[in-house]
Amino acid sequence: MEATNLLYRDPALYDVVQSDSTSAGMCQTLIDLHQPDARNLVDFGCGTGRDLEILAKRYECIGVDLQAGMVDYAHQARPELDIRTGDMRTARLGTRMDVVTCMGNSLAYVHDNNDISQVFATFAAHAQPAALLVLCSPVAPITRTEPTTATVDTPMGPATVTIRHTWDLRTQINTMHRQWALPSGDEARDEIRRRVLFPRELERYAEGAGFEVLDMHDGTGTGLTGPTAYTVARQTPR
């Protein structure tokens, strides 16, 4: 589950680069649609708490993240939030919530089948009866081979990042290779390896942990066409 992501090594930069994320808004829309009376929420893989800060305006929230540096930064930047260091394969907070979330592709950093089952067991262990589960994760690979280049605004000025993708069908790992040209003149490389869970596969893991999938879409309003999906499921009686 360890990532060599430059943005994880520099949480302040992560916050800037991800500032236009719509994940919290989409999560809020899905909760309003499927669990409008929800009062509390736990977010696994919460990072710097950027999305959790928005959701905490409506719910009592707990965030959990594996990256100690991200959690330390969150404590400084958002001291009002309850964010804890923990591994979502094994974390047990001793509480059950109305909503369990795992956004920002956090699930994709879990590559092993048994580990994925453990993560879904963690989701179930923190879900009230009939609780809502909201996930955002890749459900199809990015297979283009030509590199793309973009400019990224950072606190120190514009950086240039060149990205290419590779796909390993056997392991279902999509690797993003990034080369950064930073404003300081330095260069940095990172490699982000994400496990793709295809829709029916994702549904099977959810069902195995006692959740019924209610919907799966890519957030565009056109169904499931893109490589990333929002999955909404409900805890079912056992």
pLDDT tens column, 193-236: 999 999 999 999 999 999 999 999 988 777 888 899 999 999 99
CB–CB of 62/93 below 8 Å?
A: yes
Percent of the chain with pLDDT over 70: 93
Cα(48)–Cα(38) distance, integer angstroms: 23
Nearest to 206 by CA among 140, 104, 141, 131: 131
Q: In what order do the strands lie in the sheet with 82-85?
A: 82-85, 60-65, 40-44, 97-102, 127-138, 228-235, 211-217
Higher pLDDT, 220 or 182: 182
Tokens of 57: 């305006």
Whole-model pTM: value is 0.92
The residues, any chain, with a CB within 8 Å of residue 228's CB and separated by 6 or more, are 105, 136, 137, 138, 139, 218, 219
Whole-angstrom Cα distance, residue 122 to residue 192?
A: 24
